[in-house]
Amino acid sequence: MRPIQSIQHKINQSPRVQRWLRRRLPPLQQVVLDQKRIFIFLSAEGALYSVLLLIVFIAGVNYANNLVLGFCFFLGSVLVVTIHHTYAHLSGLQIEVIDGLDSEVGASAQYRLKIAPTGRRPHRQIRLEWADQVQQIDTLSAAQVLSFALPTPQRGQFLPPRLKVSTIYPLGILRAWSYLYFQVPVWVSPQPIACELVEQGAYAAADDEQSVERITGQDEFEGLNTFVAGESMARISWAHLARGQGLLSKHFSDPRGQQQLLDYQRMPLASHELRLSYLAYWVKQFAAQQVAFGLRLPQAELPVGTGEQHLRAALRLLAEQP
């Protein structure tokens, strides 16, 4: 990282600057960049340009050389005109968050961003930095939709960090930028962690007496298979091993017509976050196996159901837990 950029980064990360930016640029869902929201200053190259301008001016004054002074004034006028053009290529941009998708711990929340000009003039060299992702648009003459995957390290409600929009067009000696905060939260569910499911409630379906397809589960003994490395030690048939019949693992099944009740209190003893992760694992397992399930938590309960919408509701409920 360049020294000037490193200093700017440290200044921007200070709590006092963060609070000032929050007051100056409050969170929104859609914004049009204008004079109140755009900052402009010299880039690293612009700082060298200013030093050159100062040296030329001192040389012109020292030697009383009108040609050198004229060249200095020409360079100064270029800098002044560049301020107008650099600002103009950021001013008038309309930026809007279309939507954000819920995520899980350790994954990424998908956000779709719409950026469009509000006039006929194209915008050039638009750079967007969001979290650790960078995208650049060389020429923006019509609306574009961009996708960003923002990391979600913690469970609960996630608010996206600030988005930095900048340009150095046309000469690269000035940088115009703006910071945008978007009020578009998503929910982050626990990271699924596998565990043994024991002593959970079950409800028989109406057609339970009929012949139904069976799926991998926990209730009824299905048979013995050769033990595979990575399987739970609790599934080993120790009686067969004692008789010298080899290392075998027990497998169980449930009828597809059965309904399951996932109860927080009946999960393996662990921390609060770990129990939620266990529930998230079985919620996804039952949804993939098309098993109807309900969810009982200390402060909320989800009725038995199936389908993609039911899965999202269950994960949302886990994410919202205090």
Token pair 């989800």 in the structure block, residue: 302
211 and 291 fall within a common domain: yes
Nearest in space to 315 (alpha carbons), one of 191, 129, 159 = 191
What residues make up the domain containing 55?
A: 3-188
162 and 210 fall within a common domain: no
Task: Work out the pLDDT band at 258, boundaries 50, 70, 90.
Answer: low
H-run or E-run covering 81: helix 66-88
Token pair 């006092």 in the structure block, residue: 16
8 A C-beta contact, residue 305 and residue 290: no
286 and 152 fall within a common domain: no
Query: Is 138 within a domain?
Result: yes
Peptide bond into 170 cis (omega under 30): yes
Q: Answer whether residue 138 shows pLDDT above 80.
A: yes
240 and 299 fall within a common domain: yes
74 and 26 fall within a common domain: yes
Could you report the per-residue pLDDT of 205-248, keeping only the tens digit for each?
444 444 344 445 555 566 667 766 656 666 777 676 677 667 77
pTM of the model: 0.72
pLDDT score for 200: 53
Distance of alpha carbon 221 from its chain centroid, rounded? 42
pLDDT score for 253: 60
Mean pLDDT estimate for the chain: 83
Number of domains forming the structure of the chain: 2
Query: Is 123 within a domain?
Result: yes
Which range (16-20, 132-136, 155-159, 186-190) has the least confidence? 16-20
224 and 137 fall within a common domain: no
Query: Is 196 within a domain?
Result: no
41 and 180 fall within a common domain: yes
127 and 52 fall within a common domain: yes
- pLDDT over 70, % of the chain: 80
